[in-house]
Amino acid sequence: MNKTIRKLGRRVKAWYYRRKLNLKDVDKSVYFGGHSKISPDIIVGHHVYFGPGCNIYPNVEVGDFTLFANNISIIGGDHRYDVVGLPVGLTGRDVIKKTLIGRDCWIGAHSIIKCGVTVADGCIVAAGAVVTKDTEPYGIYAGVPAIRIKERFSSEEDMKKHIEMISKISFEEADALSLINGKLIDSKAIDIVK
């Protein structure tokens, strides 16, 4: 009963934020941990989480199963700074480039991703990192500017197995995968993971 009430509360909260922020291309499974500033043209896949305090500029697309911790920013690249004879504040804005955040990514708290960057599938961006260039799949990135510091999986075989397993998870099965304190709480979810 408690689980049902919690799921219902999450859905109502997600509906509220989708409506309040006028997010038309955001899947109903997306969950918002609190208030964020998100451009209404964002496109978001299934089972994505946005922590509170995110600031997301226009022209962003986010893949399925991605997590944004609190206070993530996807910003920048919009002021023209190369017009000779005019101060930056008077040059107008350039076109904001498309930013792609892949599938199965985890973006750490207080990270900044520059507009126009592609964060590849499976990447982890460490807390406080500033991503200024495209990333490669399944890497862990940290620093200012962010660089690849580690592989997400210890072997190519583990990475391939992971990709194969998550590609088989249906969105209905993903609903059954609920984690509380790091433990699976649904017997169906345990069967899926095995």
pLDDT (0 to 100) of residue 188: 45
**Residues 102, 29 share a domain:** yes
Alpha helix stretches (DSSP H) within the chain: 2-20, 156-167, 171-176, 187-193
Per the structure, how many domains does the chain have?
Answer: 2
Instruction: Render pLDDT for 91-137 as a digit per residue (tens, 0 to 9).
Output: 877 788 999 999 999 999 999 999 999 999 999 999 999 999 999 99
**Residues 25, 62 share a domain:** yes
pLDDT over 80 (residue 176)? no
The residue range of the domain holding 16 is 2-77+85-152
pTM: 0.84
**Residues 39, 9 share a domain:** yes
Provide the terminal-to-terminal Cα distance of the chain, rounded to the nearest Å: 26
**Residues 100, 39 share a domain:** yes
**Residues 27, 14 share a domain:** yes
**Residues 189, 117 share a domain:** no
